[in-house]
Every structure is written in C-alpha cells, then in structure tokens.
Amino acid sequence: MIYYFLYPLHDEPALGFLNVLRYVPFRAIAAALTALGVTFGLYPWFIRRLQKRQIGQVVRKEGPEAHLSKAGTPTMGGALILLALIISTVLWADPGNFMVWVVTAVTSAYGVVGYIDDAAKVRKKDTGGLAGRWKLVLQFAVALALGGYLWYGTDGLPADWLAIRYELNVPFVAFDNPSLTKSLEAVEAVRDNFALPGWAYVIFASICIVGYSNAVNLTDGLDGLAIGPVMVSSGTFMLLAYLAGVTFFAQDLANYLRIPSLPSAIELSIYCGALLGAGFGFLWYNTYPAQVFMGDVGSLALGGGIGSLAVMTKNELLSLLLCGIFVVEAVSVVAQVTSYKLFKKRIFLMAPIHHHFEKLGWPEPRVIVRFWIISIMLALASLATLKLR
C-alpha cells in the first residue's frame, strides 16, 4: 500500500526521494525490517498473553524424554509470524500484483487450518488435534481451488504466467521462454519445454503445496529447527523470484540464465523479505531453549507459503533440492510408517528423523545447527544449478 499511495508522488520536486520505492530490493529490505520490528515489539506481550490464557504445548508421551520439560511452553506463536508477514507484504508490495496475492492467500488459508488444529489440541489437552484426514481435505481443497483457477482461468492472470503455466522448469536443463508478443494460441501450439496437461499440473501443484505444508509441520519438532530452513528457503526464493523478473540494461536475466521469465514474480521478493524478517524475529524467542513455539498455525502456513513460492516461480522440481531438509523429514515418516505396517520393523529409532538423532544421543542444539548447515548447503547447490544448464 505504501508503494501504491506514495510512489506516484515521486514526480513532485520535494518528494523525488520516493523514487526509491520503484526498486524491489529496497522494498524487500523494508518489508524484512518491518516484519522484524513487528515481531520484536509484540512477542514479549504475545507470549505473556499465551501464558495467561494457558495456551501451552502438549507433548506426546512416546516422544524423547527430554521433551517432557517443554510441556506448557506457550504455543501458537506462529500467529504473530503470519501477522507480521501479512502486514509487511501488504505495506511494501505492489497491491496490483497477482503473484503476491496468490501466495499470501495460500499462507493465510493454511494458517486458518493450523489454527483449527492448534485450538483443538489446546482444548482437548491432547496432541491429536484436528483429524488428519480432515486436515488433508482442507489443505487439498485450498490447493485444488487455486490450481483450477491458475491452470484453467484467464481473467486477472498475467500474460507472462499464461505463456508458460503448463511448462515445467527442469533443473540442469535450459528453459526456452516463449515470446510474450505471440498470441496465447501460438504459445499453446508451440512448446519447446516439457509440459503437463492442465489437469495433471493442477494435481502436481496441489501435491507440492500440501506436501511442503505438512513437511514443515513435521520438521517443527525442536527449538528453531523448522524456522531456520524456512528462512533459508525464503531467502533463496527471494533471489530466484528477482532473477525471474528483473531486467538490467535491457538484458532479461531470465533468458540469459535460461530460467522461466516471469516479470510479475519479482514482487514475490517482497513476500520473501517479509518472511525472512518475521522468521528472525520469531527465532529470537524460539531459539533453544524456546520461549514460544510456532504451532501448526505457523508451520502449516509457512509450509504452504514455501510450496506456493515453488509453484508460482516455476521451481517445483528445484525445490526438492532446496527444501531437502523438509523432504527428508517427510520421507522418514512415510518410510517408518510403511515399514512398520508391512514388516513390523522400524527403520529409524524414531521418526521424524530429527528424533532419530536425538535417540542416538545427539544434544538438541547439535541436531538443530547441523540441520541448518545442511539447509544452507542445499540452498547454495540450488543456486549453482542456475549456471549448470
């Protein structure tokens, strides 16, 4: 909204400094600082309110014994992450940008699902919460509704998205961007990249969004474990979104790097900057030993945001590398459950896999920091693929 109301005033002689608002890096930094300020300023009060209302963490008895001391720690702290994220995004992003509203809407909708789950846990004083099948129904309902609009709709969708919406960006393979001067019919008739039918892409994108939402939720089992990779992923997506849309000296960097050209995606850098700032503010209070947990209201929402970033920037496949920590955490649970049901044997001492390392005797801070390091290395490897095409 700041961009919408103040940038047009930069033509006034006394307000020429407002021209800086046209630059996405400036607004991304401003969004990060705004979100950081909101979280730093409000978390002490928010934590006291959670304690007063006795909204505390419920710990499963079969978990690591060291976690029993975490019972009663204020939870649902992710609600303030979402507040800071949405406020900062709305303030600093271009309100007319389609991409920003899509990702923010998914994040908000999944936050509502997470809130329902957390509220049920607090009310029942049990880790069960909302039944898993209903949680998935709600998550897929949001993702499929969004997918149906993105891959079958035309009204309100930007031309750059319509030109490549059925096409996959395969890591290590050059992406041929169709000219936006062509008619949509010409673009549909001639495809140089690997493409999926619309219905298949809707399912694929929905699985991507729902998968990352639940993967982040599974990762959120130790103090600061989930928010670290979330921030690393959002920082990487911020750069990828910027490269997909920026032009330097009449040079389209997307065409130079042979990645999908999406000028409208550049505003997603603002969302990512806001997520970074909110994440740092939350981590200040969530670092070991945590004063507050994000709860499902945070983890499901942030995971949905990461998944929708992957879809909207056409990095669904690359995200498997970038978000490798989340992928491994989710796969460890699937593998553990499948092995036990089929063979009555467990692959890990406990799943998700971070609990396996705890059972091996690793102190909690060691698991957290090493997972962070791996996440950073995966992000660097993901960025390296931009030149390996």
pLDDT digits (tens, 9 = 90+) for 99-126: 999 999 999 999 999 999 988 888 877 6
User: Phi and psi for 252 in degrees, rounded to 5?
Assistant: -80, 110
140-185: per-residue pLDDT in tens? Answer: 999 999 999 999 988 888 989 998 998 999 998 888 887 554 554 5
> DSSP letters along 85-110, please?
HHHHHHHHS-TT-HHHHHHHHHHHHH
Quick one: which H or E segment has residue 251?
A: strand 251-252
Q: How high is the pLDDT of residue 191?
A: 52
Angle between helices 227-245 and 268-286 (to 10 degrees): 160
> Beta-carbon neighbour count of residue 132 at 10 Å?
11
Distance of CA 287 to the CA centre of its chain: 20
Rounded mean pLDDT for each run of 10 residues along the chain, 389 residues in total: 71 73 92 96 93 75 62 87 97 92 96 92 75 92 94 87 90 80 48 81 96 96 95 97 82 84 94 98 94 94 97 96 97 96 93 94 95 98 91
pTM higher than 0.75 for the full model?
yes
Give the three-state DSSP class for 60: coil
Distance of CA 27 to the CA centre of its chain: 19
Q: Which two tokens stand for residue 45?
A: 């009060």
Q: How high is the pLDDT of residue 286?
A: 94
In degrees, rounded to 5, the angle at the alpha carbon of residue 225 between the alpha carbons of residues 224 and 231 is 80
Distance of CA 348 to the CA centre of its chain: 27
Which amino acid type is present at position 77? G
Q: What is the C-alpha separation between 184 and 211, in angstroms, rounded?
A: 31
Angle between helices 295-312 and 98-124 (to 10 degrees): 160
User: Which residues lie closer than 8 Å to 296 by C-beta, 6 or more apart?
Assistant: 78, 113, 114, 115, 117, 118, 121, 129, 217
Q: What is the C-alpha separation between 173 and 69, in angstroms, rounded?
A: 49
Pairing type for strands 251-252 and 247-248 reads antiparallel
Distance of CA 288 to the CA centre of its chain: 23
Q: What is the C-alpha separation between 166 and 163, in angstroms, rounded?
A: 8
